[in-house]
Amino acid sequence: MQLPLIVLSSVLVLTGADQSTNSVTISHCLVSLVEEAQVPAQEAGVLRSVEVREGQQVPNNGLLGRIDDQRAQMQHKVADFELKVAHERAANDIEVRYAKAAASVAEAEHQQSVDANEKMPGTVPRAELRRLLLTHRRSTLQIEQSELDKRVAALESLVRKAEKEAAGQNIALRQIRSPLEGVVVKVYRHSGEWVQPGDPVVHVVRIDRLRIEGFLNAADYSPSEVAGRSVTVRVNLAHGRTESFPGKVVYVSPLVEAGGEFRIWADVLNREQNGHWLLRPGLTAEMTIHLK
């Protein structure tokens, strides 16, 4: 299905220079969008809710809709419990303390037997001394093993933390959010419909800042004369009203098109009145560039 588009191309313009005021006026400029987004679904699933309607203003990162996330929520809970268990294991030093105590006892028993043999040779058989020495060394190694297990538990805790963050990201991917501040102009999908990744759900356009497009004659003006200059944009509204908007030239095309003209863009800040924006994409406007 062909989607309705807001016109973004420019039209042929007429220019006039006022040498006394160091300005140039371009007639029949086109008001167009700076930003717009066909916000898509990022995961497949049933669209559980659509949180906006046509004409509604939404903030940047505002919630537009939700895809069914029950399984993702359960996975997040499981990851949270596993992370808590991993934290407990990483913080547990009982095995380390026990291994150190056991090593201390084994060392004392071995040293006691050695001292007894020094006082009276043969009191403790050599085989028993070797066994006590082995027990002491094993207890010493057990300390290292317990400390290693504790470090591994700390690393496992980091793994569980990453798994929880991944589960949280899966939930976030099922929340359709606006990438810009703007106005909803079209809702393509509704609650209960199945969506695939990439399916457009909502069309959002930015209205608070718009672009004014026009042409200048390359034989009369160079890019350096107009780049970055302030502008005044005048637009005719209903019932003969005229409104002015300040702006600035933000782009000068490096290309000279057929007819010897080059394109320029100026960005202007829009205004609201009685809950509606005065400047709307698709209108024609007159733009005066202040050369000095």
pLDDT in tens, 113-149: 888 888 888 888 888 888 888 888 898 999 899 999 9
Tokens, residue 207: 């209205």
Q: What's the pLDDT at 225?
A: 92
Distance CA 139, CA 144 (A): 9
Domain count within the chain: 3
Burial class (CB in 10 A: 0-12, 13-18, 19+), 130: exposed
Q: What is the pLDDT of residue 21?
A: 56
Greater model confidence, 121 or 68: 68
Residues 12 and 92 in one domain: no
Residue 130 is predicted with a pLDDT of 87
Instruction: Please state the rounded mean pLDDT for residues 230-246.
Output: 94
Question: 147 and 74, same structural domain?
Answer: yes
pTM of the model: 0.72
The reply to whether 234 and 187 lie within a common domain is: no
Do 63 and 180 share a domain, yes or no?
yes
* DSSP category for residue 30: E
Residue 51, domain CATH: 2.40.50.100
Q: What are 215's strand-pairing partners?
A: 263
Residue 121 sits in the same domain as residue 150:
yes
Last residue of a domain, one of 155, 172, 189: 172
Separation of alpha carbons 212 and 226, rounded Å: 14
Per-residue pLDDT averaged across 265-286, rounded? 93
Phi, psi of 219 (to 5 degrees): -80, -20
Which stretch of DSSP H or E encloses residue 226?
helix 223-226
Provide the 10 A C-beta neighbour count for residue 1: 3
Per-residue pLDDT reduced to its tens digit, 160-184: 999 999 999 999 999 999 999 999 9
Q: Indicate if 51 and 192 belong to the same structural domain.
A: yes
User: Which residues span the domain enclosing 147?
Assistant: 70-172
Residue 2 in this model has a pLDDT that exceeds 50: no
Is 222 found in the same domain as 100?
Answer: no
3-state class (DSSP) for residue 39:
strand
Query: Taking 60 as the threshold, does the pLDDT of residue 15 lie above it?
Result: no
Q: What is the pLDDT of residue 9?
A: 37
H or E stretch including 268? strand 261-269
User: Which CATH number does the domain housing residue 239 bear?
Assistant: 2.40.30.170
Residues 96 and 17 in one domain: no
Tell me: do 118 and 210 sit in the same domain: no
Give the confidence band of 4 by pLDDT, cuts at 50, 70, 90: very low
Of 164, 199, 234, which residue constitutes the final position of a domain? 199
Same-domain pairing of 63 and 178: yes
- CA atoms lying within 13 Å on the CB side of residue 274: 1
pLDDT at 31 over 60: yes
Instruction: Record the tokens describing residue 266, joined without a space.
Output: 């100026």
